[in-house]
Amino acid sequence: MSKSMMSKNKTSVSRRGFLRNAVKGSAAAAAAACTTVVAAPPEANALQRPPKPLPPDAVGLLYDSTLCIGCKACVTACKEVNHMPPDVGPAQQGWNAGGGDKPIYDSPVELSARTLNVIKAYSHGTGATKDAAENGFAFIKRQCLHCADPSCVSVCPVSAMTKDAKTGIVNHDPSACIGCRYCVLSCPFGVPKYDYNDAFGEIKKCQLCKQQLAKNELPGCADVCPTGATLFGRTEDLKAEAKRRTALKVGEHTHYPRGDIAGKVGGPRSGHEKLVEAAYQTHIYGEKELGGTQCLAVSAVPFDKLNLPTNVPENGYPTLSEGIQHTLYAGMIAPATVFAGLAYLAHRNTKNHTDE
């Protein structure tokens, strides 16, 4: 103790002055940096990295809530094609609970590690009118939207979540995954799920039936949809179709395709003619949300009523979080510089200390 006190006393005034100034200077620089960061308006943020564009051949789904009849054939087909187990709530067990280990009635109400695709319903008041926000009801299909700039891919520390460069499909590789569930936490749409009831649980999410697409077959949900409410296709084509539909007027006669909008994947299918019964919202869900998504939705009921996040920015959240990291750690120059300074000071100062 006494020696270290002495070493402190020996420290020259000029050096201490230098140090004090150095600390003051860096504090001022840090304060200035903070002010710049805080003062930047949220739209044009100096820290944000540019958003990622969709691959030109990105594929996805267009869900039309006004066409959906809530038959849930897509839910069943999804389970079959992806070999997913049934999801049975306590109220949906057999009345005599005598089904042994096999539950008899698959009845998911939300996406889960057992359910990659689900139909949910909105209802209001008397629930009498389809596709009406007042005293009506409407359906919404939930599955991975396959973001242009996915948060789950950005956060994954071990590249278990990846985005296909050509199709844009967001894939998950359980053999790489460490189960940190950062993807579950970060997804702005609440899509990836983990199985908490399994000692060796996996992350599960829709991968747009990539195994079916590889065989030139349709994703399970689009394959079986009887009304074309779920339509497969290139996202660009689906976006054009969504714009056509949202411009339609009530009572107009129009054509709705089924299966693949281009008629290629899964072979050509016949569409159907129908009168537009409910006024479409102009909002195309997924066109702009968080940098855009490959799966889109149109509806006659506002999307916030369908339990989808609507008050979200037009750039994906990774533009900001990665922007911050890339600014601080660009080429590791800042950490290396700081380390050099620290090492210099530590080297010099440990010599003055008696111990350690």
Partner 1 sequence: MSSQAHEHQPLGGRVLTLPFLICAALVAVAGVILFQRYTQGLAAASNLNDGYPWGIWVAIDVVIGSAFGCAGYVIALLCYILNRGEYHPLVRPAVLASLFGYGLAGLAVLVDLGRYWNFYHMMLPWYAQPNSVMLEVGLCVATYTLVLVVEFAPAFLERFGIEGLRAKLNRVLWVFIALGVLLPTMHQSSLGTMMVIVGHKLSPLWQSQMLPVFFLLTAILMGFAIVVWESVMASLNFRRPMETPVLSKLAGLMLVVASLFVVLRFVDLIVRGQIGQIFGGPQSGWFVAEMALMISGLALLIPKANRNRSRALFLSASLLLAAGILYRLNVYLIGFTPAVGPWHYFPSVKEIMVTVGVFALEIALYLLFVKKLPVMHAVHPEHG
Q: Does 19 bind partner 1 (CB under 8 A)?
A: yes
Please check whether residue 129 is in contact with residue 118, taking contact to mean a CB–CB distance below 8 angstroms.
no
Q: What is the 3-state secondary structure (H, E, C) of 96-112?
A: CCCCCCCCCCCCCCCCE
Question: Cα separation of 134 and 129, whole Å?
Answer: 8
Q: Does 179 bind partner 1 (CB under 8 A)?
A: yes
Please check whether residue 303 is in contact with residue 283, taking contact to mean a CB–CB distance below 8 angstroms.
yes
Q: Which stretch binds partner 1 (CB under 8 A): 129-137, 177-185, 228-236, 297-305?
A: 177-185
Please check whether residue 75 is in contact with residue 108, taking contact to mean a CB–CB distance below 8 angstroms.
yes
Question: Cα separation of 262 and 34, whole Å?
Answer: 51
Q: What are phi and psi of 193, to 5 degrees?
A: -130, 155
Q: Does 164 bind partner 1 (CB under 8 A)?
A: no
Q: Does 302 bind partner 1 (CB under 8 A)?
A: no
The CA-CA-CA angle for residues 80, 85, 86, to 5°, reads: 95
Q: Which stretch binds partner 1 (CB under 8 A): 65-73, 240-248, 273-281, 316-324?
A: 316-324
* 51 or 313: CB nearest partner 1: 313
Q: Which stretch binds partner 1 (CB under 8 A): 68-76, 79-87, 131-139, 199-207?
A: 199-207
Q: Does 117 bind partner 1 (CB under 8 A)?
A: no
Give the binding-site size for partner 1 (rule: CB under 8 A): 89
Q: Report in angstroms the alpha-carbon separations of 123 from 36, 49, 303.
A: 47, 40, 13
* 29 or 250: CB nearest partner 1: 29
* 215 or 348: CB nearest partner 1: 348
* 1 or 97: CB nearest partner 1: 1
Q: Does 308 bind partner 1 (CB under 8 A)?
A: yes
Cα-only R_g, the chain: 28
Minimum distance, C-beta of residue 283 to partner 1, in the bound complex (Å) = 17
Q: Which stretch binds partner 1 (CB under 8 A): 62-70, 172-180, 239-247, 253-261?
A: 172-180
Minimum distance, C-beta of residue 266 to partner 1, in the bound complex (Å) = 30
* 126 or 349: CB nearest partner 1: 349
Q: Does 84 bind partner 1 (CB under 8 A)?
A: no
**Per-residue x/- track, 121-160, partner 1 (CB under 8 A):** ---------------------x--------x-xxxxxxx-
Among 70, 93, 107, 202, contact with partner 1 (rule: CB under 8 A): 202
Q: Which stretch binds partner 1 (CB under 8 A): 2-10, 62-70, 206-214, 223-231?
A: 2-10
* 27 or 104: CB nearest partner 1: 27
Q: Which of residues 272-291 bind partner 1 (CB under 8 A)?
A: 290
Question: Cα separation of 58 and 233, whole Å?
Answer: 9
Q: Which stretch binds partner 1 (CB under 8 A): 86-94, 104-112, 245-253, 293-301?
A: 104-112
Q: Does 318 bind partner 1 (CB under 8 A)?
A: yes
